[in-house]
Amino acid sequence: MSEPVFKKTSMLTDAPTHYCPGCTHGIIHRLVAESIEELGLSDRAIGIAPVGCSVFAYRYFNCDMQEAAHGRAPAAATGIKRAVPNSIVFTYQGDGDLLSIGNCEVNHAAARGEKICVFLINNAIYGMTGGQMAPTTLIGMKSTTSPKGRDPEVNGYPMRGAEMLATHEGTYYAARVAVNNTKNILAAKKAIKKAFEYQNAGKGLSFVEILSTCPTNWGLSPIESLEFLENKMMPYYPLGVLKDKGAE
């Protein structure tokens, strides 16, 4: 018998995920899970699932999990972290959950400097409810509630999460990453891991926005979706570290 060259992280359960073919949620789940395991934080981790495509995240992350009301994950995370200060608390939220209905909760959690990790999965659309406009939907991008394309006169402008969160004094780390190719995936892993390291060291809120795809609701093939992410999303949502108090 030869040694296995690859093993699935123990921080993911064996439950089959419900994500659509070509969706990059699976990659992001793995990056978060691997980071927790590699840092030896599995026994202390408590995750919070959102409402949206990743609503079933509590089935997949192999740690204690709470499922929060729509947008309220950072508030629930606040309660958990205050009650169990030694825990490693993370929220995993979509762009509707975090930037629309939960905009208040995430900004105040950051302003308070809650010692938690917040992961925003930005795919510029509402996935679970069937392709409606998100706060991150690009100008001109069609959705079922902006059928002629997002018009700033009618719908306003897309919102940049990482930049906004970076403004808060209580935010320790804010970065935007993407999972469209190997290089970016490795960079994303690094950012996610750093977020957990900072929390483990008792620092303030760490925020990582991850650009993701939605082939189903974008009406594109998985390959085309990765190209859309690179060519259309990245110019509006530039990658990079927006704030790193640990590097200052």
Smaller CB separation from other proteins, 84 or 201? 84
Closest alpha carbon to 163 in 125, 115, 108, 209: 209
Of the pair 32, 68, the CB lying nearest other proteins is at 68
Residue 126 contacts other proteins per CB under 8 A:
no
Decide: is 202 part of the binding site for other proteins (CB under 8 A). Answer: no
CB 226 to other proteins: min, Å: 30
Nearer to other proteins, 62 or 184 (CB): 62
- Residue showing tokens 């700033």: 152
String of contacts with other proteins for each residue 144-173, x by CB under 8 A: ------------------------------
Question: In the range 75-114, which residues lie near other proteins by CB under 8 A?
Answer: 75-80, 82-84, 86-88, 104-105, 108, 112
Cβ 49 to other proteins shortest distance, Å: 8
Contact of 2 with 47, CB cutoff 8 Å: no
Q: According to the binding rule CB under 8 A, does residue 15 interact with other proteins?
A: no
Q: Which stretch binds other proteins (CB under 8 A): 43-51, 92-100, 157-165, 226-234?
A: 43-51
Q: SS3 for the chain, per residue?
A: CCCCCCCCCCCECCCCCCCCCCCCHHHHHHHHHHHHHHCCCHHHEEEEECCCHHHHHHHHECCEEEECCCCCHHHHHHHHHHHCCCCEEEEEEEHHHHHHHCHHHHHHHHHCCCCCEEEEEECCCECCCCCECCCCCCECCCECCECCCECHHHHCCCCCHHHHHHCCCCEEEEEEEECCCHHHHHHHHHHHHHHHHHHHCCCCEEEEEEECCCHHHHCCCHHHHHHHHHHHHHHHCCCEEEEEHHHC
Angle between helix 73-83 and helix 103-111 axes, rounded to 10 deg: 40
> From the CB of 120, what's the least distance to other proteins, in Å?
18
Contacts with other proteins: how many residues (CB under 8 A)?
A: 34
Q: Is 45 in the site for other proteins (CB under 8 A)?
A: yes
What's the closest the beta carbon of residue 129 comes to other proteins, in angstroms? Answer: 14
Question: Does the footprint of other proteins cover residue 200 (CB under 8 A)?
Answer: no
Binding letters toward other proteins, positions 48-77, x by CB under 8 A: x------xx-x---xxxxxxxx--x--xxx
**Interface ranges with other proteins (CB under 8 A):** 42-46, 48, 55-56, 58, 62-69, 72, 75-80, 82-84, 86-88, 104-105, 108, 112
